[in-house]
Structure 1
Amino acid sequence: MGSSALAAQSSDASVGKTAGRSMGWIAILLGVLTAVGPVSTDIYLPAFPELEKSLHARVGSAQMTLAIWFVGLAIGQITMGPVSDRFGRRIPMLLGTFVYTLASVGCAVATDIYTFSAFRLIASLGASASLIIPSACVRDMSHGNESARMMSRLVLVMGVVPILAPTLGGMVLSFTTWRSIFWAAAVYGVVCMLLIWRVLPETLKPENRSELSPVTLCSRYLLLVRDRGFFTNAMIAGFSCFMSFTYLSAAPSVFIHQFGLSPAHFGMMFGVFAVCMIGASQLNGMLVGRIDATRILGISVIVALVGTIGMTLVASLIAETTKAGGHPSIGLMVALVGAMMFSLGTTGIIGPNATVGALADHPRLAGSASAFVGTLQYVLGALAGAIVGMLPSNTPVPMAAVMMAGAVVMLLMVVLRPRRPAEGALADVPPADGAATGRPTP
């Protein structure tokens, strides 16, 4: 028997094992693997001030390490999909998680900010495999309503992680140093490798694997960018992430440095914002089908803009109070948090609806379209982190102003969108190009 036949037989047996396992349980397993990205993004946010002090780096350097992390995820987003389409799902995830684990050890032992940043970049390239390939596994195993149910379970796990990660990070810092966070990340990587190696079945049969040349991929992306409906919706989804990543980059400096919250309390507050985003996403699921999705998207963008304008006004009052030598009142801080809840909560509605709008007219290029949208989100996330890192960090004004700029761009894209419903019955149409994709979870 030839090697290809043996590979096919092995893969068939592996895929066949999924029938004997609970699909819901596999979705939870995939969610645990996907959570590598959100965990590594969020868990060290409370450690920004201590990290900068320990590595003798200037204030704002930690935000730049977050931007570097997003750069790596952006590169991985656009490359890991085709790699998994060519070589299957398990091997790229196993190798990527191995790289992530070693790089996390490098972060834990780094002695300067430059070495730390280099290892963060390497870790993000490895983590991108487990961040984006699980959604392709869902498509391999199911279609239609079953696929939607599996994806909702996976997203639920991904949604819980951002709530818990900063809180856990803050608790760790109460007992030990920031380095322990990355040792814990390395242990998490080892656990994920064991799960991939021993438990996760190969979901992509050899006969379904494909190889796309760089020229073909580039031509597909060019076709997508030239479509106004795709471009405007992709930009809305991208700048929704731009707003979220601006908050992720600036929040530790604002709430720990400026307002004096402890890392543990910061983690709890971070969880409140994450709950707002998840709640808005669940509300969106109830509204879609009753109200036109494009109308929901437009209203949500306006609410986000109003929220960021309110943030900027309150942040300016806080800056004036601080400049005069005073301390911001509780009322001003509550007002700032309230405006942020409106601004960030709407991203749980804007992101999904804009993404659906981008994919609606391209069912046969859904894989490439999703990869492009995901890459754009992380590129803009990296840009947000870089901008915040370069701006003064002694007031919340830069955070509010950058988020407001993102909301303004989203509103402009809403105005420029073609006037047609941003809906598409994509759930029952498996993508022809099969590229693995993922969604960023702040």
Structure 2
Amino acid sequence: MACLAAAVAPNVELLGAARALQGIGAAAGGVVAMAMVRDLFGGRPLVRMLSRLALVNGLAPVLAPVIGSWLLLVMPWRGIFVALACYGLFVVCVSLWIAETLPRAWRHDAGHATVGQRYRSVLSDRVFVGIAIVGAANFTGLFSYLSASSFVFQQIYSFNPQEYGLLFAVNSIGIIIGVQSASRLTKYVGPQWILAVSTVVMLVSSLLIVLLDQAQAGLWGVVVPLWFFIAACGFGFPCVQVLALSAHGHEAGTAASLLGALNFGIAGIVSPIVGILGTGSAVPMGAVMAVCALVSIASLWLVVRPRTVPELAH
């Protein structure tokens, strides 16, 4: 309904209101999907299933601009909202066939626990809080790239729309490789250690963007470390989700909602800072990404403390 309202909005105020409703609906879908996966799986199988979910979540913000640019070749901008409405109708039809996933033993009466009690239970978990900070910082680093990339590549390096779309496609391959690698490696090491490696790669890659840009290394001095940064984000996405949800099967929806709110809330606040710092080079983008990586590393080692995280069940 929000998509159709946006498609026929006569002014920017109503368009903004419709877009806000779209955001609420999209956020609910992401939270429910994570909670359903946690209802059905635990231990290492949870990692595999969340890896598949993380693949979709990670690819969506990267591929969405590309798909949108393709649609604009054959329809006006309002047509994009009609296409989204059709997709939403398809999702509604599919959801009608999905059975209840929450085990009966985990179901509670409405009065069993208040919303505040559930949030208090999740937020009292040190590991969850630390992992939520890591996830939000990683997601903010990715969004910093998304918000600055058009300035960096289209204005500084004069990419045309097709070249810019190709760059997004190549970077999406990095997310796929990262997510799938993490899924396989959890058979041998805990997700907290995979996350430790991914955050270091993110830091090194973002610092290389700054240093190579200052050294006037040209386009490849930005593109190559940026690809590794994005791949490292994919490497960490499923690990963040499994560490945040594994101990909260009974409050999976609450934990997932907090995780999503922090991810998008902090990313929405911080990513515009890249534009404020300037768009004349790749340095502001790389600097914000480096700060995000530093926050991730600090939270992982000072709050989560990987050595104290219990191993996942097989």
TM-score range, shorter chain: 0.7 to 0.9
Aligned to 1:260, what secondary structure does the other structure show?
coil
Q: Distance in 2 between matches of 1:115 and 1:397?
A: 36
CA distance in 1, matches of 2:94, 2:245: 32
Equivalences for residues 160-309 of structure 1 within 5 A: 164-197=63-96, 200-203=97-100, 210-212=108-110, 216-309=114-207
Distance 1:232 1:134, change over 3 A: closer
Alignment of 1:349-428 (within 5 A): 349-362=235-248, 364-388=250-274, 390-416=276-302, 417-418=304-305, 420-425=307-312
388 and 113 in structure 1: CA distance in 2 versus 1, 3 angstrom threshold: farther
Who is 2:225 aligned against? 339
Moved more, 221-230 or 267-276: 221-230
Q: Deviation at 1:239?
A: 0.8
Q: 2:211 is paired with a residue of what secondary structure?
A: helix
- Following the alignment from structure 2 to structure 1, what is the Cα–Cα distance between the partners of residues 167 and 158? 13
Match of 1:123 among 17, 22, 29: 22
- 1:331-371 per-residue CA deviation (whole Å, 9 max, x = no partner) reads 51111011111212111122322333344555554443333
* Cα offset, 1:115, TM superposition: 3.9
1:146 deviation in Å?
A: 7.4
Show structure 2 runs of 5+ residues with no match. Answer: none
Instruction: State the partner residue of 1:323.
Output: none
Aligned length: 312
CA distance in 1, matches of 2:18, 2:229: 33
Taking every aligned residue pair, what percent have the same amino acid on both sides? 30
Matches of 1:341 and 1:206 in 2, distance apart?
41
Instruction: Write the distance in 2 (CA, Å) between the matches of 1:162 and 1:240.
Output: 14
Residue 187 of structure 1 aligns to which amino acid in structure 2? C
Q: Residue 238 of structure 1 contacts residue 377 of structure 1 at CA under 8 Å; is this kept in 2?
A: yes
Cα-Cα RMSD? 3.4
8 Å contact 1:163–1:275 — kept in the other structure? Answer: no
With structure 1 as the length reference, what TM-score do the two structures score?
0.60
Distance (Å, rounded) in 2 between the aligned partners of 1:151 and 1:352: 6
Output the CA distance in 2 between the equivalents of 1:301 and 1:143: 25
Structure 2 distance, partners of 1:353, 1:247, is 21
2-structure distance, mates of 1:143, 1:419: 19
Q: CA deviation at 1:218?
A: 2.1
In structure 1, stretches of 5+ residues that fail to align are 1-101, 319-330, 428-442
> Relative to 1, partners in 2 of residues 1:142 and 1:310: Cα closer, same or farther, differing over 3 Å?
closer
